[in-house]
Each structure stands twice: as C-alpha cells, then as structure tokens.
Amino acid sequence: MSVLRPLDKLPGLNTATILLVGTEDALLQQLADAMLKEDCASELKVHLAKSLPLPSSVTRPRIDLIMFVVNLHSKYSLRNVEESLHHVDATFFLGKVGFLATGAGRESHCSVHRNTVVKLAHTYRSPLLFCDLEVAQCFVGLSPGCGHGTAYQATLRQHPTCHS
C-alpha cells in the first residue's frame, strides 16, 4: 500500500507543492485557480486528486501540504476523505495537513454535521477551515498550534472577510 510520506523526496528549489484531495473536481479546480492568483514567495504548484493513494509517479515533486476538501452536502465526499487519510503517513500530520469544509452556509443542504469534520480535524490534530466557495465568506475553525505555510496563507487570503 503506497503511503504518502512528507520527507521521502528532496525538496524542489524554491517550489511549493500543494495537494488538494476531494471528490468534486470543479470545487478543487476553483480553489486551485484562486490559490495560484495569490502572490507566493516560492513557485507554487497545485495537484488535484480525487482520493488517495495517488497513482504511482516518479516525476511527482515532494508534497508540502495536503488539504482534504469535504463538501458538507455530501456524505460521499466525507467517506472519501476518511478513506484517503489512511494512506497518509503519521508524520505528515505535524503541520502539513489541513481540512477544508465547504457548504456550511446552506444548512438545509448539509448531510454531514459540522461537528463530524471538527472531530475529524481534532483527531488528526490538523487545522480546519470552513469555507463557502459560492459565497465570499469564510469562517476559520479551531486549531491552535499549526504551521502557517505560504500556501496555507493563500487559502485564507482568497476570502477577504476571513480572520484567523
């Protein structure tokens, strides 16, 4: 079983690679486009994947940050993230993983409770952001003590009404 490890490759020179994992391709694409519009100290690359494990590839650079995207309207997207988490090495969770939950704004459409993702993020000791990609508003969920990579700031910055 292939497992993603944070330090199994050499870092690229002045590059940062983010991996977005989620079932809804259009959502990931939107997020990636927004991230790339931000100024970044390093050269930013975004990989989009439906789930883990990733297909084997020697050319893939080292992944610096994984964002798991859950759509609260879809139990399928939560299940997909839960299964993908098994393919990530434990050391990744020391500040290189984040969770993004979308769709909290439309309560009536939510089939996944917010507390479910809160508990999930807590279990994996990783930060959680609530976001609504259709509406330009963002609430930042709890998670003290996590790293702030450049790319991570970009995720926050794309929604100007957002505070940490």
Partner 1 sequence: MDETVAEFFKRTILKIPMAEMMTILKAWDFLSENQLQTVNFRQRKESLVQDLVLLCEKKRASLNDAAILDIVYTQFHRHQKVWDVFRMSREPGEDIDLFDMEQFKRSFKKILQRALKNVTISFRDAEENAVWIRIAWGSQYRKPNQYRPVYVVYYSQTPYAFTSSSQLRSNIPLLGQALTIASKHHQIMKMDLRSRYLDSLKAIVFKQYNQTFETHNSTTPLHERSLGLDINMDSRIIHENRIEKERVQRVTQETFGYYPQPRLEFAQYKLETKFKSDLNGGILAEREEPLRCLIKFSSPHLLEALKALAPAGIADAPLSPLLTCIPNKGMNYFKIRDK
Instruction: Report the residue number, 82 or 125, with the smaller CB distance to partner 1.
Output: 82
Q: Is 3 in the site for partner 1 (CB under 8 A)?
A: no
Which x/- pattern over 57-76 shows residues binding partner 1 (rule: CB under 8 A)?
-----------------x-x
Q: Which of 34, 49, 110, 118 binds partner 1 (CB under 8 A)?
A: 49
* DSSP assignments along the chain, one per residue: ---B-TTSSPPPTTEEEEEEE-S-HHHHHHHHHHHHHS--SSEEEEEEESSSSPPP-SS-----EEEEEEETT-HHHHHHHHHHHTTB-GGGGTTSEEEEEE-TT-GGG--S-HHHHHHHHHHTT--EEEEETTTTEEEE----S----HHHHHHHHTSTT---
Exactly one of 44, 78, 81, 154 binds partner 1 (CB under 8 A); that residue is 44
Exactly one of 7, 8, 29, 147 binds partner 1 (CB under 8 A); that residue is 29
Residues contributing to the site for partner 1 (CB under 8 A): 19, 22-26, 29, 32-33, 36, 43-51, 54-55, 74, 76-77
